[in-house]
Chain A
Amino acid sequence: KQEVTQIPAALSVPEGENLVLNCSFTDSAIYNLQWFRQDPGKGLTSLLLIQSSQREQTSGRLNASLDKSSGRSTLYIAASQPGDSATYLCAVKRDKLSFGAGTTVTVRA
């Protein structure tokens, strides 16, 4: 059974600092990994999708890396802003989509 872990559960940083969010998974036989953003009282918004054959994916200030053999992915957010405050979830896809519990990020102005 696939287990997805996100550590830490919560993170608080001053504005301008770079954010590093971690995701680990137990079964490396995945098709892809997806990072989502969840705002309070809202649904999930897809940020980045990394195929199993890719090492990283970038979108603006966001960069996600994938090391399938070690079961790890990292989401980097450069020059954080208060608007980046949200919960970030990773999900890995094999026969189904397995989610981590998320990391709640607070960016202090």
Chain B
Amino acid sequence: NAGVTQTPKFRILKIGQSMTLQCTQDMNHNYMYWYRQDPGMGLKLIYYSVGAGITDKGEVPNGYNVSRSTTEDFPLRLELAAPSQTSVYFCASSWGGFWEKGNTIYFGEGSWLTVV
């Protein structure tokens, strides 16, 4: 059981380039999330999805796009990369939404992105 898998692990982008962070989960979870973690800060929610075909913005969505064509996959797209997007990105999934009381959330191992 692989859980939540993210690729790539590390990436360096030039300003203005675009890229997609891949995320897949094999737990048949309905809910998936993308977070970013900046040094010394807590995780901030970028986008989330409650099921295939349904996505919504989190706290810090600007500069990102997502899609959810299948239950398993939730890619995060960075358009026109900026230095402010240098961060560690975490994909996560859960059976129920984070607003549901007893739910546990499972995280991928992270993707380190540097924009220069």
Q: Check A43 against B102 for contact (C-beta < 8 Å).
A: no
Docked CA distance A101–B90 (Å): 15
Please report the C-alpha to C-alpha distance between residue A85 and residue B74 in the assembled complex, in whole angstroms: 32
**Which one, A43, A52, A94, contacts B4 given CB within 8 A?**
A43
For chain A residues 17-36, which have a beta carbon within 8 Å of chain B?
31-32, 34, 36
Residue tally, chain A, CB below 8 Å to B:
27
Interface residues on B, range: 20 to 34
CB proximity of A29 to chain B, nearest CB, Å? 13
Give the dominant DSSP class at A's interface. Answer: strand
A100 at the interface (CB under 8 A from B): yes
Q: Is the CB of A32 within 8 A of B101?
A: yes
Within the complex, the shortest CB–CB distance from B4 to chain A, in Å, comes to 7
B interface majority secondary structure: loop
Instruction: Please give, as numbers and ranges, the residues of chain A lying within 8 Å of B110 by CB-CB distance.
Output: 41-43
Closest Cβ of chain A to B91, distance in Å, is 9
Check A43–B58 contact: CB distance below 8 A.
Answer: no
Q: Assuming A44-B90, A45-B107, is B102 touching A98 (CB within 8 A)?
A: no
If the complex has contacts A93-B98, A97-B98, are A46 and B105 also in contact, measured as CB distance less than 8 A? yes
Q: Which residues of B contact A (CB under 8 A)?
A: 4, 40-43, 45, 58-59, 90, 92, 98-110
Q: 13 A-B pairs, CB-CB below 8 angstroms? A: A31-B99, A31-B100, A42-B110, A43-B90, A43-B110, A46-B104, A46-B106, A51-B101, A91-B42, A91-B43, A96-B45, A97-B98, A101-B40
Given contacts A36-B107, A43-B92, 18 further A-B contacts (CB under 8 A): A4-B42, A31-B99, A34-B104, A43-B90, A43-B109, A43-B110, A44-B107, A51-B101, A51-B102, A91-B42, A93-B99, A93-B101, A93-B103, A94-B99, A96-B45, A96-B58, A96-B99, A97-B105
